[in-house]
A and B are shown apart, each in its own frame.
Chain A
Amino acid sequence: MQATKAVDVDALAALVPDGASMTVQKGDERDVPMALAHALIRRRVRGLRLITLPTAAYPASGMMVDLLIGAGCVASVETSGISLHELGAAPRFTQAVKSGRLIVRDATCPAVYAALQAGAKGQPFAPLRGLIGSDLLRHRDDYRVIANPFAPGDPIVVVPAINADVAIFHAAKADAEGNVWIGRDRDRLLAAHAADLVLVTVDERVNGCFFDDEAMAAGVIPADLIGALAVVPGGGVPCLADGRVDLAAVRRYQRAATDEEGFAAWLRERVLRGEPVAA
């Protein structure tokens, strides 16, 4: 097969149109494409309709989503949770909700997964237990309650499929063909199946083909699902190469982003200059 040609991260960002619906991963793996988020902010993308799969509530994912919101790139976010994990609230998200600038479509994690699975299968919707009697359901005009067609007297919620315009994520490595290795984290594979365009950053490109090794092949997204690929060493910062998160860096961000001025300074000094992402 023809190998995927890698582009640079700004070329990747140029593929995301204003107003696109875009999925981001939850951030417990090294899946947060921070360098790409910086490139999106530099290209001044506007009106993104973010969907977190199903949350952005780990330090790195929360920080990335908070940056995109604070930088004015996001019109709405569908999420089951946004925070900086044990460090506390995501400051720009919180502020944007309070000011009414951001539309939040509150969800619950399994509803996002059910919708994404439906999207990945090309089905229009998925049924899901729970939710009945919650204000989540009351405020989601796209969630419905139907009668279970197979058992009388059993109301059940249905949620519409998620098929985002774009999925973005980071991964450790791609092979020569452009197959992307994700290990046991199936979430990125599911996101790739459900989205129309998949944009990936990887730390490195390695020789050979992951499919030659059965153990590796089990954790691979095939190259033909990847729309475009950029090799960005450290592109997943503040997730470190060994899987840990640089909490000190996230704390520095959290302190800076507490007010508008501090956040603007952070953008100026660490994002808009276009230098490699660094903690």
Chain B
Amino acid sequence: MDSGAQVRPEELQASAIADLLAGARRVAVGMLSPVPGAGALLAAHLSGGQTQVTILGSRAHSRFTNGGAELFDRAGRGGIDAFFLSGGQIDGRANINLVGTGDYPRTEVRWSGSFGSAYLYFIVPRVVLFRWEHSRRTLVEAVDFISAPGVSEPGVHRPGGPVALITNLCLFDFDRANARFRLRSVHPGHTLEEVRDQTGFDFDAPSAVPATPLPNAERLAALRGPVARQIADIYPAFAERVFGLVATPQ
């Protein structure tokens, strides 16, 4: 059976995120990250207990007891292997902008703010970037405001940083030594040409670009069953839209 037509984009993205988390022991999921949350919960499901997930704001998916600072304290001690960040703008050097466009502080468009990015991006070894609008206005040559830089000068304490960027079109790896993205795969139904057209920064690409793998039946069943129920605990509107789960009586 060709299940491709029935796989929702969020399911493909969550499955690709789960692959990026392979081998991670402790994964944390921050604010406004429902697809990464689903991907992390899928990774935990597939890991047979190896991968633990902490979702900020969730009672059921947090074993933290020392307040909001605990995530940052643990990360500072090397205790968080993977985290997720996004940006209203992301540029070719993996700088992210969570603040707004135009001249700060009178930004034309104001976003919510930088959250923990300006710290966790430096500290967490495996940071996965995500942006579900792949366009020249989101993936830009240079961000208008650097909430957190993709790479740091020599001498700055920087054990962590970006490893990948996943969008609604494709998956990039990030080469920290050269501060450049390299295309890893393009999602089914999209093309390298489309990615080039929609990307505001220059990036590397292999001569033949593979397709991002579709989630298999086991993964789809996990996503639509236990993962959907768990993610509804913290992202009820998302769970309803993607998985048809009504978790919050209104």
Contacts and interface: CB of A to CB of B under 8 A. Distances in A.
A4 to B, nearest CB: 24
A171 to B, nearest CB: 14
Interface string B14-54: 00000000000000000110100000000000000000000
Nearest to A53: B68
Interface string B100-119: 10001111101111111111
Mostly, the B contact residues are loop
B113 A57 contact: yes
Contacts of B220: none
A184 interface: yes
Contacts, number: 160
Interface stretch (A32-40, A105-113, A229-237, A253-261): A105-113
B107 A82 contact: no
A110 B119 contact: yes
A154 B157 contact: yes
B68 A109 contact: yes
Contacts of A81: 31, 98, 112-115
Contacts of A2: none
B238 interface: yes
Contacts of A28: 56-57
A180 to B, nearest CB: 15
Contacts of B98: 81
A152 B56 CA distance: 36
Interface string A117-142: 10000000000111111111101000
Interface stretch (A42-50, A198-206, A220-228, A244-252): A244-252
A81 B34 CA distance: 17
A155 B122 CA distance: 14
A186 B107 contact: no
B207 interface: no
Nearest to A81: B113
B68 A130 contact: no
A277 interface: no
Interface stretch (A5-13, A16-24, A84-92): A84-92
Interface of A: 26, 28, 53-55, 57-58, 79-83, 85-87, 89-90, 93-94, 97-98, 100, 103-104, 106-111, 113, 117, 128-137, 139, 153-156, 184-187, 189-190, 243-248
In the A-B complex, list the 4 residue pairs whose CB atoms are closest, starting with the nearest. A186-B67, A81-B113, A130-B119, A110-B72
Given A86-B235, A247-B236, 20 more contacts: A79-B113, A80-B113, A81-B114, A81-B115, A82-B112, A83-B113, A89-B111, A97-B100, A106-B105, A108-B148, A111-B118, A113-B68, A117-B69, A133-B153, A134-B118, A136-B147, A154-B155, A155-B155, A187-B68, A247-B237
18 contacts: A28-B57, A54-B116, A57-B31, A86-B32, A89-B112, A113-B68, A113-B72, A130-B119, A130-B121, A133-B146, A133-B156, A134-B114, A134-B147, A136-B118, A136-B146, A137-B118, A186-B66, A187-B69
